[in-house]
A = this chain, B = another copy of it.
Amino acid sequence: MLPADPAVPDGWSTTGEMRVRLDTDPYLERYAARVRGMSASEIRALFAVASRPEVVSFAGGMPATSALDMEAVESVVARVIRDHGATALQYGGGQGRPELRALLTEVMHHEGVPCHADDLVITVGGQQALDLIARCFLDPGDIVLAEGPTYVGGIGAMTSNQAEVRHVPMDDDGMQVELLEEMLEQLAREGRRAKYVYTIPNHQNPAGVSMSVPRRHRLAELAELHDLMIVEDNPYGLLDFTGVTYPSIRQLVPKRVIYVGTVSKTFAPGVRTGWVAAPRPIRDKLILLREAADLCPSNLTQMIVESWLTTQPWREQIKRFTEVYREKAEIMLGSLASEMPDGVHWTVPGGAFYIWLTVPRGIDTSDLLAKAIAQRVAYVPGRGFYADGSGGDQARLCFSYPEVARIHEGVARLGELLHAELDLVRAVYGDDAPQFRPRHDGPAGGLGG
């Protein structure tokens, strides 16, 4: 039975004059298996502090919405209500509006990815696409192969559907596809198979690197060879600093790819509009799953995106975003070079939002976060980006959101902290510091992309 005393908050009990925290949830035995292991990480509480203005936060993967033309957005939303109010405020179809789907194929074409509007399902950002795909394919215990590190929310979508995520290591050229091949062969020997490979080939979150062209071709070949599906998640492809163009995996093996896009980084996350492009039978399942999940996307936000894409210079806006991020990336790279102690390494992003940091043995980035926030700088510890608890010597720095003027300040604070920590590690262990141990911190949450 449930606790009945209304004066005692849930999870607490009174014993005489003392209040003792009981870490038992009175509803625990009622939950489905998929949520029993889910709990908020302590890191979540730290991030609440990290949002204070005195903290330079490299934590949240948030776009610089301040670079948007707000007068243009205001006119766009007012016009949607004025011209199509009754439709915008009504229910819509589960697949999403045909008008928006057609326009999003133009966004894909702008990046060189061919697609037909009928292949698309509109979703609540890219995250819902990842969740619907996971629900479509994953039974408890199924195996998914994903880059290590990879997107926190991608891991969440797969593990909340009780899949086993195995990581394919990365280097500066993205997923090490030759190691993927070994893993596929090992699985075949075990008589098992991966339900799909999850990849973010362009300016990956969190590693900041892109998959090389030869590796893309090899991945496509492996898909044919091992009868494999690939989930290609591409939030960042259009935010490119270098002018290098990569073929999408979808172009190479269209029947094997479920492609995920979003306007969160090229327009605004606040409209919560993403999409999935899939072969038709899969598309049909995704529509049914979507209707069971939340009925239909918002007509209002869909029509705002339509109006943005038809009346505003959206290609120019993407260039403007890209210039902002390129400048911020250069400042952060310069600051890292001048402020970080020896033995700290980082990736050099060719686009988008992220730099991936690796610190010397003996420093645990999860443990360090509280100190960092006390020093008024925040990042995301590496463990959040692995399903297996590894990544304790890594961290994600996101440069997209902080003001240009504060990036050096934040990196300098982190550099100072790492110098001090390394001095301490050397004083205690000499050159023989212990390796960090795999450990689960739980989902970080509230971090945006």
Point out residues on A near B: beta carbons under 8 Å: 1-4, 6, 9-11, 25-28, 30-35, 38-40, 60, 62-63, 65-66, 68, 70, 73-74, 77-78, 80-82, 85-94, 123-125, 127-128, 131, 135-139, 142, 153, 156-157, 159-161, 195, 227, 229, 254-256, 264, 268-272, 279-282, 284-285, 287-289, 291-301, 304, 443, 445-446, 448-449
A77 and B81 within 8 A (CB): yes
A297 and B268 within 8 A (CB): no
B160 and A10 within 8 A (CB): no
A31 and B270 within 8 A (CB): no
20 contacts between A and B (CB under 8 A): A2-B227, A11-B280, A25-B281, A26-B281, A27-B279, A30-B195, A31-B285, A33-B139, A70-B82, A73-B85, A89-B271, A90-B270, A91-B448, A91-B449, A94-B445, A124-B293, A127-B293, A135-B160, A156-B291, A300-B304
In the assembled complex, the Cα of A377 lies from the Cα of B353 at a distance in Å of: 54
B255 and A272 within 8 A (CB): no
Give min CB distance, A408 to chain B, whole Å. Answer: 23
In the assembled complex, the Cα of A245 lies from the Cα of B160 at a distance in Å of: 40
Residue of B nearest to A154 (CB): B292
Q: Which of B131, B256, B288 contacts A294 (CB 8 A)?
A: B131
In the assembled complex, the Cα of A73 lies from the Cα of B85 at a distance in Å of: 8
Q: Which of B74, B128, B281 contacts A293 (CB 8 A)?
A: B128
Residue of B nearest to A282 (CB): B27
Residue of B nearest to A35 (CB): B285
Give min CB distance, A72 to chain B, whole Å. Answer: 10
Give min CB distance, A237 to chain B, whole Å. Answer: 19
In the assembled complex, the Cα of A269 lies from the Cα of B125 at a distance in Å of: 19
